[in-house]
């Protein structure tokens, strides 16, 4: 089942006006909005996300604070003439118990934003496949990603846009380091195996703290990511606590760590697939991890 809102080309201005009509008028909020817009625009430019001006992006709206902020900021940039793409908001209702199915359609309708709501009961599949006591997130994410690729193709979108931010990338880096035995995080831009759809993360330079304060000030109708009851004890939460402890002891640690992800020295690592030690130069081999379907999920 799906609900759709007709596609209109002049929606951004009206949507931005409605989004910000009850926002704080304080100097602090204006600075926060400006910083998030600047970071988002910088990420889009730095990582060549706008490879096809005039294209169409499927903006994935889970209902969490990050995806709400993502949609608002992209609409803001589009309204300012800084983002030459059409935006289609999309929520995949996966049938979790207690999910408020009408909340996001009503919200998007009130903004006048083009949207598609897809209802697929992947929750029952996950519950059937995952043993009791294990977390659902990994399989849930894979099933969701498959549906999003299909929807993007059906809607003529050339990119799926996700709300992962800087802290998500750092947590993923630590998960891979401690549990996966590899140096990998969340890439700002990836291409799927079929080569027809990009996966983009325009919030990759933004901090979770900034996004949380922005979402609270904007009063987004946030849906918590705990409906399935599988969140307790996640390794990701342990990584988040670790980063919090480091940040308290050494303020600015997150920023420094993310800067390191942008400043890789291949010859000072030990991967012969990345560095040709015989020639003392970059290897010609490409790593399969830099594909969307092999990317680390947010679980």
Domain hosting 97: range is: 2-294
CB neighbours (10 Å) of residue 10?
A: 8
- Please report the pLDDT score of residue 132 as a whole number: 66
299 domain residue, yes or no: no
- Please report the pLDDT score of residue 41 as a whole number: 98
Helices (H), the chain: 11-20, 27-46, 65-79, 103-111, 122-129, 137-154, 166-175, 208-218, 235-249, 253-261
- Please report the pLDDT score of residue 247 as a whole number: 96
211 domain residue, yes or no: yes
pLDDT per residue rounded down to tens, the chain (299 residues):
445 444 445 789 999 999 999 999 999 999 999 999 999 999 999 999 997 778 999 999 999 999 999 999 999 999 999 999 999 999 988 767 778 888 999 999 999 999 999 887 666 666 655 666 666 566 567 777 878 999 999 999 999 999 999 999 999 999 999 999 999 999 999 999 899 999 999 999 999 999 999 999 999 999 876 655 555 447 888 999 999 999 999 999 999 999 999 999 999 999 999 999 999 999 875 555 545 444 444 43
Burial 136-149 (b: 16+ CB within 10 A, else e): bbebbbebbbeebb
Q: Residue 148's closest CA among 140, 160, 136?
A: 160
| Domain total in the chain | 1
103 domain residue, yes or no: yes
Domain harbouring 277, CATH code: 3.40.50.620
105 domain residue, yes or no: yes
- Please report the pLDDT score of residue 232 as a whole number: 46
DSSP code at position 93? E
Give bridge partners of residue 189 from the DSSP assignment: 200
- Please report the pLDDT score of residue 58 as a whole number: 97
141 domain residue, yes or no: yes
114 domain residue, yes or no: yes
Give first-to-last CA distance, the chain, whole Å.
27
Phi then psi dihedrals of residue 166, to 5 deg: -55, -45
Burial class (CB in 10 A: 0-12, 13-18, 19+), 28: exposed
- Please report the pLDDT score of residue 47 as a whole number: 97
Structure tokens at 160: 């799926």
46 domain residue, yes or no: yes
């Amino acid at each position: 089942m799906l609900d759709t809102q007709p596609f209109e080309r002049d929606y951004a201005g009206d949507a931005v006006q409605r989004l910000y009509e009850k926002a704080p008028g304080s100097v602090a909020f204006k600075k926060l909005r400006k910083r998030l817009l600047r970071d988002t625009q910088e990420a889009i430019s730095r990582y060549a996300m706008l490879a096809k001006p005039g294209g169409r992006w499927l903006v994935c709206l889970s209902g969490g604070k990050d995806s709400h902020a993502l949609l608002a900021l992209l609409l803001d940039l589009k309204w300012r003439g800084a983002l030459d793409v059409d935006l289609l908001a999309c929520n995949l209702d996966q049938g979790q118990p207690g999910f408020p199915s009408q909340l996001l359609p009503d919200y998007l309708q009130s903004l006048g934003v083009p949207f598609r709501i897809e209802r697929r009961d992947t929750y029952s599949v996950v519950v059937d496949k995952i043993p009791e006591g294990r977390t659902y997130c990994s399989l849930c994410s894979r099933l969701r990603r498959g549906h999003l690729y299909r929807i993007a193709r059906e809607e003529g979108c050339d990119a799926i846009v996700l709300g992962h931010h800087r802290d998500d990338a750092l947590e993923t880096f630590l998960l891979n380091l401690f549990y996966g035995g590899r140096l990998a995080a969340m890439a700002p831009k990836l291409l799927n195996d079929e080569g027809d759809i990009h996966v983009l993360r325009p919030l990759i330079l933004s901090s979770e703290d900034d996004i949380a304060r922005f979402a609270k000030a904007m009063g987004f109708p946030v849906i918590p990511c705990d409906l399935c009851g599988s969140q307790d004890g996640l390794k990701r939460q342990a990584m988040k606590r670790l980063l919090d402890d480091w940040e308290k002891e050494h303020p600015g640690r997150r920023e420094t760590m993310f800067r390191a992800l942008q400043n890789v020295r291949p010859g000072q690592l030990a991967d012969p697939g990345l560095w040709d030690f015989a020639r003392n130069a970059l290897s010609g081999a490409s790593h399969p991890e830099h594909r969307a379907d092999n990317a680390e999920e947010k679980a």
